[in-house]
Amino acid sequence: MGQAAVSFSDYGLAYDLPAHAYRALDVLEQAGFEAWVVGGWVRDALRGAPSHDVDITTSARWQETKAAMESAGIPVHETGIAHGTVTAVVDGEPIEITTYRVEGDYSDHRHPDEVRFVGDVREDLARRDFTVNAIAYHPVRGLLDPFGGTQDLAAGVIRAVGDPRRRFAEDALRVLRAVRFAARMGFVVEEKTHAALVEAAPGLADIAQERIGQELDGIVRTGKAAWALLAETEVMCAAIPELAPMVGFDQRSPWHAYDVYEHTARVCRACEEFTGGCASAELRWAAMLHDVAKPPTFTVDASGRGHFFGHPKAGAKMAQAILQRLAFPKAYIARICTLIRFHDHVMHPTSRSIRRTLVKLEQACPGDARALVYQLIDLKRADAVSKVPRAALYVSELDVITAAVRQELLKRPPLRTTDLAVNGWDVIDTLCIAPGPAVKRVLDELLFSVVNGEVENDRNLLLAQLKGAGPVPQALR
C-alpha cells in the first residue's frame, strides 16, 4: 500500500487519514491481514468535522496484531485483549486495534456474555450501535457502508443498526448515546429507533451512575439540553428521575406561562442565546437543574397562587445529590450548585450589592467569583425571558447590573480576608490576642466593613478601625 493512495476527498471525506493511522494499516496488511478504519473518525470525516482518535478493526487476532506491530518497531499495550483490543502507539499516537468480532447476549444489559472473533468485517459492523458508527474506510478500497450510514449522515438521522429493540436491550446506555449523538450533530432520532429507546429507557437503572453521568455531561455540553429535554423526555427523566415531577407541573403563578419542565427547557435554550452558544458547562447544568426543587417546595396560598419558598437553596442541595450520584468532580458540582443557589438572589447596580454578591460567590467557590457572577447574570436573564412576557423587562435591569459589575471588578475589590490590606498578624499585634479563631472572626468583620463601604481597603484606615474596636471579649480570646 503506497503513500500515494486515494485521497479521502474522493469518498466525500473532508480529511485525509493521519500518517500514523496509514502506517498502522500498512503494517497489518504487509503482514497478510485485512484492516479498516472504523467508528467515530470515519463518521466525523464524512461530516467535515475534525476528529483525533482513529480506531482500526482487523482480521488479525490480537496476538497477531501485537506481533506485527512490534516487528515494525511499534510499541503495543494489551488494553482489552478479552475483546480482541490492543493499543498501538504509532509515531507517538495511540490507535486502538480490534479483531473483527461479534457478541453474544447481554445478560446485565451492559456487557456481552461472550465475544466471538470472526473473519468478515461486515459481521463486525453489524454488531455496532448506530448506522453512522457502522461505516468502515480503507484508503484504497474506499468506504464500506452495509447499513446506509452515509445516507443517514446526509439526512441528519440517528438510526440503530438492525433491530433497535435488540440494540438497546444489549446495552441500555445506548439510549443516552443516541441522544448524545443527535444533540452533538444536530440530528433527529429515527422513528423506530426513538420508539425503541423510549421503551428501553427504564433499563438505565441497571447502568452504573458514573457512565450515565458521562453521557449526560456529553449531552449538556453540546448546548442542546433544551432539545434533549423536550424531544427525549422519557430518556432524560429515566437518567435523572428528579426531572420527572417537573413534567406538566402547573406553577399557578402570574409570573409563569409554562409548567416547570417546559420553563426549564426554555431557560436552557435562552442560556445558549444569551451566550452565543458558548455557555459554560456549569451554566448549562445549572439551567437544567435550577428549578428541580420546585415540585417538593410547592405551596398554595389562600388565593390559589402557587409559591416555591426556598426552592433555590433546596434545589442546590438536590442538584448536589444528583451530581454526586453521577460521580462529577467536587469543584464542578460546587460551581453548578452555587449558580442554582443564587439564581433568585437579588442584585442591584450598586457597589455594596455587587460586592456582597461577589463575596458570597467567592465563599462558595474560592477563586471563581469573577467568572461565576457573569454566569449568574446570564442564568437570571434566561430565567426572566422564560416566564411571562412582562418578566423579560428584567433583562434591561440586568444589563445595567452587568455594566456595574464590570466597573466594580476593575477596582479589584477584596473578596476574601486575604485580599485585605491587613492580615492576621496585624490583628494579633493590634489587639494583643493569641492566634486562633478570634483572629479569623475579626478579619471577617473587617471584610464585611469594606464590602459594605464603611471603610476603604487601606492599611492605615483598617489599623485605625482595629485600634478603635476596643478590648476583645474574653470569649473571643
Note whether 321 and 292 are within 8 A (CB). Answer: no
Give one word for 310, left, alpha or beta, with left for phi > 0 and alpha for psi -120 to 50: left
Any idea of the CA torsion for 333, 338, 343, 347, to the nearest 10 degrees?
-160
- CATH number (3.90.79.10, 3.90.950.10, 1.10.3720.10, 3.30.460.10) of 8-154 reads 3.30.460.10
Domain extent listing, the chain: 8-154, 156-239, 243-413, 420-476
Residue 278 neighbours by CB under 8 Å, 6+ apart? none
Return the CATH fold of 420-476: Serum Albumin; Chain A, Domain 1 (1.10.246)
pTM comes to: 0.89
Q: Report how far Cα 179 is from the mean position of its chain's Cα atoms.
A: 14
Q: Return d(Cα 84, Cα 58) in angstroms, integer.
A: 10
Q: Which CATH architecture has domain 243-413?
A: Orthogonal Bundle (1.10)
Return the CATH fold of 156-239: Hydrophobic Seed Protein (1.10.110)
Task: Kindly give the confidence (pLDDT) of every residue in the chain, 477 residues in length, as a single tens digit, with 9 standing for 90 and above.
Answer: 433 333 444 455 546 789 999 999 999 999 999 999 999 999 999 988 887 789 999 999 999 999 999 999 999 999 999 889 999 999 999 999 999 998 655 555 555 556 788 889 999 999 999 999 999 999 999 999 999 999 999 999 999 999 999 999 989 999 999 999 999 999 999 999 999 999 999 999 999 999 999 999 999 999 999 999 999 999 999 999 999 999 999 999 999 999 999 999 999 999 999 999 999 999 999 999 999 999 999 999 999 999 999 999 999 999 999 999 999 999 999 999 999 999 999 999 999 999 999 999 999 999 999 999 999 999 999 999 999 999 999 999 999 999 999 999 999 999 999 999 999 999 998 888 889 899 999 999 999 899 988 888 989 999 998 887 644 444 444
